[in-house]
């Protein structure tokens, strides 16, 4: 509901038991659909031949039984769901990317964003490379292929390519004989390992492992390269510890599903903890606590438990409408709020309501939600955000706007409260945000405090930076 996009979700299977890898990817992507609703794709390796089907739309819009059956069973597969932050052509930039080169074929799925994509693209183009997408992802297979020409293995080429890549990247790479998972040295985006019978699964979140009945094994460590082939699973730890761990804290606040576990910490527990911190930092006299579905619900429960104020179901969410940020026009997004969310008047009528949402970005959607509660009879509405105020753009895979589009950069907290129509307003503190997970260390909170773990592009603001990459081929 807060108009924030996450770039994508990745999923991969290496089967030693003749499993239907395409169908496993289908169900895995279904579980990761919340991470990307713009395009979907699956690539299957069948005896060294890669069959790839992808397109604009949700998973069930691209794939059905006949399509999956036509991809062959194969031994390996890699899959992807996307909501792009760089490159806006949905069909053109759909993944996985499949590359043919002198050492063979390669399919790649990427979650994150590179901060030096523009520089790398220019370097490759000056040496004759031809780009087919407007996404920053395409420079990654070019970097790997360049190194593969003089490397003894694909994993060595990936390790060498990592020296040139800056920013966020959780990757699944499929060669004719290997499936490889890669996480950048900062660990900005999640990536985990699972097992199903004798098969190995890679996924952005553990909820995708649960969806196919796989057992969670562990997370891929920041900087680690995990290789699976006929000889088993092994790890290249050359880049582990090369940078300070900086997992995106917003994975816990908003992006990930609450039933996922990231780097050993439950997302549900982290969100409930955010609500408890909010109750301590911004107490209020009220009659009921309600959350904005979906990612505000866990935080609202935590607020209620900490404050002693009863928790109530304040909204019913339609199950048949995609996230409001899918609509490209702000006016259309605002119209969809009423269709997507309907207040439960019996919960809020005549009561002082604490409204907990995951974040406040531009404020327009939040204002309409406050208005819905007023219309339903709430006498007071006290707005609480389980994220700190956004004051800086993100360059690491989150579509958090340039400063001129962030409401907290343009107005004071009191002015924002008035614009939202709320009786009071409270944001989670940045200090508390760093304590949400059980492994409460090594978070990236740059969008809140400006402390970027890696130098962002400095030649221009985020909007111009992304537009420059997207229009690089023009």
Task: Give 3-state DSSP helix, strand, coil % of the chain, rounded to 5.
Answer: 30, 25, 40
Which are the contacts of 371, defined by CB distance < 8 A and separation ≥ 6?
Answer: 421
CB 149 within 8 A of CB 129: no
Secondary structure class of 151 (helix, strand, coil): coil
In this structure, the strands spanning 192-196 and 265-266 are unpaired
> How crowded is residue 188: how many other Cβ atoms within 10 Å of its Cβ?
27
Position of tokens 């991969």?
12
Residues in Cβ contact with 365 at an 8 Å cutoff, skipping those fewer than 6 apart? 1, 2, 3, 324, 333, 334, 337
Q: How far apart are CA 127 and CA 270, in angstroms?
A: 47
- Candidates 174, 170, 176, 106; CA nearest to 142 is 106
Q: Point out the catalytic residue in the list 8, 25, 207, 394.
A: 8
Reading the block at residue 7, the tokens are 């770039």
- Is 8 annotated in the active site? yes
Helices (H) and strands (E) in the chain, counts: 18, 23
Q: What tokens does 243 get?
A: 């940078």
Which single residue is written with the structure tokens 């609202």? 300
**How many CB atoms lie under 10 A from the CB of residue 114?**
28
Half-sphere exposure of residue 398: CA atoms within 13 angstroms, side-chain side: 27
96 cis-preceded (ω within 30 degrees of 0): yes
Q: Which residues fall within 8 angstroms of residue 278, CB to CB, at 6 or more apart?
A: 299, 302, 303, 356, 384, 385, 386, 426, 428
Here the tokens at position 184 are 């950048």
d(CA 181, CA 202): 7
CA distance 361 to 365: 9
- Rounded Cα distance between 184 and 334, Å, is 37
Supply 111's token pair: 């979650």
In order of 124, 290, 324, 354, the CA distances from 309 in angstroms are: 59, 10, 30, 9
β-bridge partners, 41: 54, 80
Rounded to 5°, angle at Cα 241 from 238 and 243? 115
The residues facing 173 across adjacent strands are 108, 180
Which of the residues are catalytic?
A: 8
């Amino acid at each position: 509901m807060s108009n924030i996009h996450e770039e994508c979700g990745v999923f991969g299977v290496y089967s030693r038991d003749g499993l239907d890898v395409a169908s496993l990817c289908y169900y895995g992507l279904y579980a990761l659909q919340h991470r990307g609703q713009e395009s979907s794709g699956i690539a299957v390796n069948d005896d060294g031949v890669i069959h790839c089907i992808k397109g604009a739309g949700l998973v069930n819009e691209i794939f059905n039984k006949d399509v999956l059956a036509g991809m062959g069973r194969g031994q390996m597969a890699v899959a992807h769901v996307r909501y792009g932050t760089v490159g806006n052509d949905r069909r053109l930039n759909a993944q996985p990317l499949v590359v043919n080169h002198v050492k063979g074929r390669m399919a790649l799925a990427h979650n994150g964003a590179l901060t030096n994509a523009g520089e790398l693209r220019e370097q490759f183009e000056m040496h004759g490379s031809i780009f087919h997408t407007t996404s920053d992802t395409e420079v990654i297979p070019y970097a790997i292929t360049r190194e593969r020409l003089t490397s003894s293995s694909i994993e060595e080429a990936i390790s060498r390519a990592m020296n040139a890549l800056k920013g966020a990247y959780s990757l699944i790479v499929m060669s004719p004989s290997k499936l490889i998972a890669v996480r950048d040295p900062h660990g900005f985006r999640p990536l985990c390992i699972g097992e199903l019978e004798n098969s190995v699964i890679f996924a952005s979140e553990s909820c995708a492992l649960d969806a196919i009945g796989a057992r969670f094994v562990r997370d891929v460590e920041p900087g680690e390269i995990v290789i699976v082939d006929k000889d088993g699973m092994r790890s290249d730890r050359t880049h582990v510890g090369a940078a300070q761990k900086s997992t995106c804290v917003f994975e816990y606040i908003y992006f990930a599903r609450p039933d996922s576990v990231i780097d050993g910490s439950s997302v549900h527990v982290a969100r409930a903890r955010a609500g408890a911190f909010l109750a301590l930092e911004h107490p209020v006299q009220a009659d009921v606590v309600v959350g904005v579905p979906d990612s505000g619900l866990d935080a609202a429960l935590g607020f209620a438990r900490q404050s002693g104020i009863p928790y109530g179901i304040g909204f019913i969410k339609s199950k048949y409408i995609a996230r409001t940020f899918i609509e490209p026009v702000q006016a259309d997004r605002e119209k969809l709020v009423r269709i997507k969310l309907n207040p439960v008047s019996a919960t809020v009528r005549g009561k002082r309501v604490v409204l907990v949402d995951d974040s406040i970005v531009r404020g327009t959607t939040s204002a309409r939600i406050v208005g819905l509660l007023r219309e339903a009879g709430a006498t007071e509405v006290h707005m609480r955000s389980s994220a700190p105020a956004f004051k800086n753009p993100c360059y690491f895979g989150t579509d958090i706007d340039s400063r001129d589009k962030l409401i907290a950069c343009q107005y004071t907290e009191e002015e924002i409260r008035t614009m939202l129509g709320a009786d009071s307003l409270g944001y989670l503190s940045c200090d508390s945000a760093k304590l949400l997970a059980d492994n409460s260390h090594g978070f990236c909170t740059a969008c809140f405090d400006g402390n970027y773990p890696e130098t962002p592009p400095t030649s221009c603001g985020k909007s111009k930076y992304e537009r420059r990459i997207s229009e690089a081929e023009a």
